[in-house]
């Protein structure tokens, strides 16, 4: 018995030795080492002589990582994707292929996962691509990668990603805010979309949802907006970009791309043409701006935009409080601005507006921006289904001035209203008028009322 026990002890100790060796072997042979070996062989092929070949092949294997505290992540993708910044690897097989068109988005500053998704901390293929349980952010397919641009670039147009601009435009004009909050502004009938991009819903789900909300979200009160496939994709891009993440200052300062297109947008927004001319087209209260970048340095022009009085004491030019990249964009536009373009800008400006016109126009903008059009329609026609509400649908507002006083309408906008039930014993209608007094200023609400009343004038004029 004693001998048997000693033999058993010996056997178990040997087993323990074998197990620890197995664990060590398992830890020492991760798949990334194989990828690195293959890559070194590829690199060695291009080496001119045996000595440099051997030097390359002797490179010790190691995990490559990029620390990105500003983006709150660590990316280890380049452990396998070794040719990402090597132009000679243009036609190499994956994972070694060169990543063209990175531009300023070098991996040392941006890593990989901020655009591509996936699990940067991982060092094996399946886990790193995020296609594992409990990693909610898998690799984005090529159809959707460009949506990630919107995670940083939140203002203006993003070159190469018209879907984002279009998606944002659709969101603001189709009335999404009427039911959904975004960054604190909006209704509360549907879920808050502020961090929708971080909810990690599959892009395909989002797209199907825009095409047919009820098919994807059973029982949803969201009406079918009959978007086209392109529009659904644009909106999906916009949703994916809403990650609501905190970024380090370097990244948040990059939100604006200083493109000439954005500069033109600012030129129009700030109404520069009301004082300046370009090539003689425009006003003559301030200097003509044609070719201004050839006469003055970029720094001078930038200073001019920050502090006009510093450069021209007594200048009547207002301080516009523009961000660095916004100023860069304006200057970029001015570098190529022409008189023809100034003509275009001038012609788009409406005739001089009366204060009432301005109020009504502002009210119309509000009506669209805050999402009222989502339920009441872009033509105030109403018609969105609302089961068990009296009338069965969201009312039209074309004749609201006939049924209510202006103060009553203002009160309804401020306090909200639950629609009266068709069948008192039936279910509560899913849609209701939210209360906006906490979201909109009184001035904004009055302007909406002005806008609604302007429709009555039109109707009366029509008689």
Question: Rounded to the nearest whole angstrom, what is the least distance from the CB of residue 387 to another protein in the complex?
Answer: 21
Per rule CB under 8 A, is residue 55 in the interface with another protein? no
Alpha helix positions (H), 260-379? 260-269, 292-295, 298-306, 308-311, 324-336, 339-348, 355-369, 372-376
Angstrom distance (rounded) from CA 387 to CA 107: 53
Name which position in 33, 40, 86, 456 contacts another protein (CB under 8 A). 86
The owner of tokens 């092949």 is 57
Per rule CB under 8 A, is residue 91 in the interface with another protein? no
Name which position in 41, 42, 52, 76 contacts another protein (CB under 8 A). 76
Question: Rounded to the nearest whole angstrom, what is the least distance from the CB of residue 123 to another protein in the complex?
Answer: 4
Question: Rounded to the nearest whole angstrom, what is the least distance from the CB of residue 21 to another protein in the complex?
Answer: 6
Per rule CB under 8 A, is residue 188 in the interface with another protein? no
The owner of tokens 């009553």 is 408
Question: Rounded to the nearest whole angstrom, what is the least distance from the CB of residue 324 to another protein in the complex?
Answer: 21
Name which position in 62, 230, 309, 340 contacts another protein (CB under 8 A). 62
Name which position in 35, 39, 96, 135 contacts another protein (CB under 8 A). 135
Name which position in 54, 55, 57, 67 contacts another protein (CB under 8 A). 67
Question: Rounded to the nearest whole angstrom, what is the least distance from the CB of residue 208 to another protein in the complex?
Answer: 15
Q: Which of residues 383-402 bind another protein (CB under 8 A)?
A: none
Q: Given phi > 0 = left and psi -120 to 50 = alpha, else beta, which region is 191?
A: beta
Shorter beta-carbon distance to another protein: residue 97 or 455? 97
User: Could you tell me how many residues make up the chain?
Assistant: 463
Per rule CB under 8 A, is residue 459 in the interface with another protein? no
Closest CA to 333 of 253, 252, 270, 250: 270
The owner of tokens 């109403």 is 382
Alpha helix positions (H), 337-424? 339-348, 355-369, 372-376, 400-403, 406-415
Using CB under 8 A as the binding criterion, the count of chain residues that bind another protein stands at 45
Angstrom distance (rounded) from CA 297 to CA 278: 18
Angstrom distance (rounded) from CA 274 to CA 213: 46
Residues of the shown chain interacting with another protein in the complex, contacts defined by CB under 8 A: 2-3, 5-10, 12-17, 19-24, 26-28, 62-63, 65, 67, 74, 76, 85-89, 106, 108, 119, 121-124, 127, 134-136
């Amino acid at each position: 018995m004693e001998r048997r026990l000693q033999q058993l002890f010996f056997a178990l100790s040997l087993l323990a030795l074998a197990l620890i060796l197995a664990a060590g072997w398992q830890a020492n042979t991760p798949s990334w080492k194989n990828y690195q070996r293959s890559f070194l062989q590829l690199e060695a092929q291009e080496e001119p002589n045996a000595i440099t070949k051997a030097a390359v092949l002797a490179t010790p294997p190691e995990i490559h990582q990029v620390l990105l505290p500003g983006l709150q992540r660590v990316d280890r993708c380049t452990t396998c994707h070794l040719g990402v910044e090597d132009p000679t690897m243009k036609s190499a097989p994956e994972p070694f292929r060169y990543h063209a068109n990175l531009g300023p988005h070098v991996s040392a500053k941006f890593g990989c996962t901020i655009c591509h998704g996936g699990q940067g901390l991982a060092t094996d293929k399946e886990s790193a691509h995020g296609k594992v349980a409990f990693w909610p952010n898998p690799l984005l397919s090529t159809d959707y990668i460009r949506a990630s641009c919107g995670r940083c670039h939140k203002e203006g147009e993003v070159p190469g990603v018209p879907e984002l601009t279009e998606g944002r435009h659709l969101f603001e004009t189709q009335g999404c805010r009427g039911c959904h909050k975004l960054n604190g502004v909006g209704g509360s009938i549907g879920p808050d979309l502020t961090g929708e991009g971080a909810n990690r819903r599959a892009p395909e789900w989002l797209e199907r949802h825009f095409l047919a909300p009820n098919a994807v979200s059973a029982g949803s009160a969201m009406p079918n907006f009959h978007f086209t496939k392109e529009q659904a994709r644009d909106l999906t891009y916009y949703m994916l970009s809403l990650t609501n993440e905190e970024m380090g200052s370097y990244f948040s300062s990059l939100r604006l791309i200083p493109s000439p297109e954005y500069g033109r947008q600012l030129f129009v927004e700030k109404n520069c043409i009301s004082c300046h001319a370009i090539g003689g087209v425009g006003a003559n209260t301030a200097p003509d701006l044609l070719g201004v970048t050839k006469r003055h340095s970029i720094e001078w022009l930038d200073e001019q935009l920050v502090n006009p009085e510093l450069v021209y004491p007594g200048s009547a030019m207002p301080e516009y409080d523009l961000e660095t990249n916004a100023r860069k964009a304006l200057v970029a536009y001015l570098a190529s601005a022409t008189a023809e373009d100034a003509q275009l800008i001038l012609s788009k400006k409406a005739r001089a507006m009366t204060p009432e016109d301005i109020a009504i126009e502002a009210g119309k903008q509000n009506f669209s921006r805050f999402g009222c059009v989502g339920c009441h329609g872009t033509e105030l026609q109403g018609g969105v289904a609302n089961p068990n509400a009296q009338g069965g649908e969201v009312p039209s507002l074309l004749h609201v001035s006939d049924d209510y006083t202006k103060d009553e309408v203002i009160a309804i906008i401020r306090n909200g209203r639950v629609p009266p039930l068709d069948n008192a014993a039936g279910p509560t209608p899913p849609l209701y008028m939210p209360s906006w007094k906490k979201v909109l200023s009184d001035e904004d609400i009055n302007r909406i009322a002005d806008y609604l009343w302007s429709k009555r004038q039109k109707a009366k004029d029509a008689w």
